[in-house]
Structure 1
């Protein structure tokens, strides 16, 4: 899956939702390893819907994800910044 084209990965991240299926959550986490900032934002936006304690804890236990979110906030436009900030608020 990680060798698929970028447009395919973006469409996949948009299609996943908060059905809370572990496999979909794992796919989103794996897509975060891509360096594309738009894909990263799409994944974070989708991850906001994964609100279970287990999912939140898994994200919190990945400091690299949190570091990337914090770094992305400083350079993001208004809409993107709001998505990233809401993501962080949702982890509390």
Structure 2
């Protein structure tokens, strides 16, 4: 809650600093910030989440996808569709996971990406 409140008051400089530093933080820190990046559903949040998707950490990847589901479809869809490896990875996880809640989240994300 506190982090979300702080993020809602970010200036342009704050967003740029976060964007520049987020990949240098620990995986645990990245997971926490990914949970918080749906306040404004702005371009900065979207780009940070997309950057965080380039991780080998499955939990971070799943958190980012879950958070991206709350973004307006068209804004996120355009950026995500430019990077087909994201959808390929989501499809792979859906096909291989035995975790039902994760599968539901990922399938919902895919349905939003495939909607017209």
Is the TM-score greater than 0.5?
yes
Q: 8 Å contact 1:50–1:56 — kept in the other structure?
A: no
The size of the alignment, in residue pairs, is: 92
Displacement, 1:18? 5.2
Task: Report 1 or 2 for greater relative contact order, CA contacts < 8 Å, sequence distance ≥ 6.
Answer: 1
Q: 8 Å contact 1:51–1:90 — kept in the other structure?
A: no
Q: How far apart, in 1, do the equivalents of 2:112 and 2:39 lie?
A: 14
Larger Rg: 2
Write out per-residue CA displacement over residues 4-46 of structure 1, whole angstroms, 9 at most, x where no aligned residue: 1111000000011152210010000000011100000000000
- The alignment partner of 1:68 has SS state of helix
1:20 aligns to 2:41 (yes or no): yes
- Structure with the larger helix share: 2
The verdict on how the C-alpha distance between 1:2 and 1:11 changes in structure 2, with shifts beyond 3 A counting, is: same
In the TM superposition, what are the counterparts of 1:11-50 in structure 2 within 5 Å?
11-17=32-38, 19-50=40-71
TM-score after normalising by structure 2: 0.75
Q: How far apart, in 1, do the equivalents of 2:79 and 2:110 lie?
A: 13
TM-score after normalising by structure 1: 0.93
Gaps of 5+ in 1: none
Q: Which moved more, 1:20-29 or 1:51-60?
A: 51-60
Gaps of 5+ in 2: 1-21
